[in-house]
Each structure stands twice: as C-alpha cells, then as structure tokens.
Amino acid sequence: MLRMPSGFWEQVVADGLKVPQDRSLVEMTEDLTRMLGDPNPEVRDGIAFPTMATWIDDGVYDDLLVGLGDGMCHGLDIGLGEIESDTVFRRSFSALILTECIDRTTRAALGGPNVILRWGDRIMSWYSRERDLRGFVPGKGWAHAIAHGADALGALARSPVMGKLELTVILDVIADRLLTPTEAFFVCGEGDRLAFATMHLLRRNILELDVLEPWVARLASGAHPRGGVSGFLDADPRGRPPDGHRPKHEGDTRSDWDERCPGYQSPRPDGESRPHRCRAGRRTPGVGRVREQTRGHQQPE
C-alpha cells in the first residue's frame, strides 16, 4: 500500500481538507483507510476520520461510495474477538465512516436499497460480536466501538430503506448489546448514543406498541441490581477519559443531545420543558435535516 509522503496529510488539514489534485483518490483513500486503525489519535481522529467524512459529505466519493462502504465493512472484521488490542480502532472507525456512507447514500439516492441492507447486515453482525468495549484508551485516545456502532445503527434507522422488519432487528441488536453480560462499564456516553439511535428509529413512526412494549419490558427485566442494564452504569469511573478529552467528531453532553435532536424537550429543574433550536455541526451527519418532533409526529423526509 502506497503511503503519502511525510507532512502530506497535515498540509491537507491545513488547507481546509480540500482534495489534492496531484494525487490519485484511490491511493489517498487506501492511505486514509490504513490511518483509521492507527493507534495515534492525531492520525486516526485528527486526520483520517475528518478527511474521509468531509469528502464523503461533499460528494467526492459519490462514484466510489459503494466500494468505499464495502471496504469499511471489511474493516469491521479485522481483529474481531480481540480484547484490548489496537485492532479495535480500525473496527470502530470503520463503523464511523460507514455512518457517513449510509447518510450520504440516503441523501443522494446512491447505490440502491440492496447496498444499505448489505451494509446493515455487516454492521449488526459486527456490533453484536464486538468484545472490546473500551471508551477512552490512555495514550491512544478514543476507541469507542459501542458509541460508533450506535451511530451506525442510527444512520440505518434514518434510512427509508429500513422497513418494519429491519427496524425491529435494529431494536433487538440494541437490546442484545445492552443485555450481554460484561465486566466493562459504559461510562463514555455510550448510553446516550444508543438512546439517540433509538430516537431516530422511533421518529420513523413505523413500529407499533406491540413491538415496542415487549422491547422495553425486555430491557427492564435485564436491569442490573446496582441500577444499570448489564454493563451500563454511569456511576463507575473506570474507563472515563481525563478531563478535557472528548472525541473531535462528537458531543457527549445533555445540551449537545438537545442540539442534535430537534424537537426534543429536555427537562428543566422546575419540571417544565423547553424547546431547543438545532445547531448541529458539520460532523453530526444528517441530524440537521431531521426537523420533525419526537413521540408520534410525522416521519422524516
């Protein structure tokens, strides 16, 4: 695999992520794909992800998008089953790029329904089998496979290709992930990201209560006696990043939730609710286009 010369990608970032015209897009993509698995967070999270995500969003990859997504699906299998190895970065960030691919495919009507369904099968198969549940890895930055997988499930849920059967499967995958016994604790915003994906699914207004009520009951029956579902217990400090560290590509606060979920009414201390206007950033794919209210209102366009 050809690697770009030293300083090449740093200059691309400095130039505002414009596509260099003196290099082959295929060769640059191969290098970026390798960088998605780099244990150095500045390479992986500071260069590779924002570059690929921006180029996908800008349509640079439209003619190659299906092949790019298929390549990211391959990345989901690299080292699958390993725990606390660096292969998690390639899997996790492949899922994050697939989120961008799915949203671009939906937005630009590219590839056709079979492509989304194929990617969805690969994402859900990987997500159910992922064993490296670390959030922040000291010295190496964000792994965050559970959060990134949740983002990919949210992108699938937003796609009009996904009907009642497929959305039901996504719900089951979310429940399976939460209820799988584990020694890990989800303390890096994974719960919010899974809930965010679920809200996108519910906003489709396709699933009826005969599906939703048993799903909620299943989660409730699996609640951990210490107050969480399986590995979800935000009171435990293990695995949290040091103060001041947060992923470059995401938010993790309640106010950010409000901003990314138009129409969501966050509770106020006095018990009332207040609406929030969406100020979704560039790297929150598709959310700025979802304008409808939650809880039983009309389906997104």
- Residue at 145 is within a domain: yes
**What does the pLDDT read at residue 237?**
44
- CA 121 vs. chain centroid, Å, equals 15
Residue 285, both tokens: 């794919």
Average pLDDT over residues 201-213: 97
What are the C-alpha distances in Å from 234 to residues 63, 185, 190, 195, 238?
43, 7, 10, 14, 10
Helix 113-129, helix 164-179: angle, nearest 10: 10
- Residue at 4 is within a domain: no
Residue 114, both tokens: 């079979």
**What does the pLDDT read at residue 242?**
59
Residue 79's region, left for phi above 0, alpha for psi from -120 to 50, else beta, is left
146 φ, ψ (degrees, to nearest 5) = -65, -45
Count of domains observed in the chain: 1
- Residue at 130 is within a domain: yes
- Residue at 297 is within a domain: no
Residue 74, both tokens: 């391959």
- Residue at 81 is within a domain: yes
- Residue at 298 is within a domain: no
Residue 252, both tokens: 């993790």
- Residue at 58 is within a domain: yes
Average pLDDT over residues 173-177: 97
Residue 205's region, left for phi above 0, alpha for psi from -120 to 50, else beta, is left
- pLDDT of 71-90, one tens digit each? 999 999 999 999 999 999 99
The enclosing H or E element of 148 equals helix 145-158
Of the candidates 144, 201, 199, 193, the one whose C-alpha atom is nearest the C-alpha of residue 170 is 201
CA distance 288 to 274: 19
- pLDDT of 40-55, one tens digit each? 999 999 999 999 999 9
- CB under 8 Å to 165, separation ≥6 — which residues? none
- Residue at 117 is within a domain: yes
Structure-model confidence comparison of residues 210 and 279, the more confident one: 210
Domain of residue 120 covers: 17-182+191-234+255-264+272-289
Instruction: Please state the pTM of the whole predicted model.
Output: 0.78
**What does the pLDDT read at residue 201?**
97
- pLDDT of 238-264, one tens digit each? 455 655 555 555 543 333 434 444 433
**8 A C-beta contact, residue 90 and residue 36:** yes
Residue type, 247: P
CA distance 189 to 139: 19
* Residues making up the chain, counted from first to last: 301
142 φ, ψ (degrees, to nearest 5) = -80, 125
Q: Is it the case that residue 70 has pLDDT exceeding 80?
A: yes
**8 A C-beta contact, residue 157 and residue 108:** no
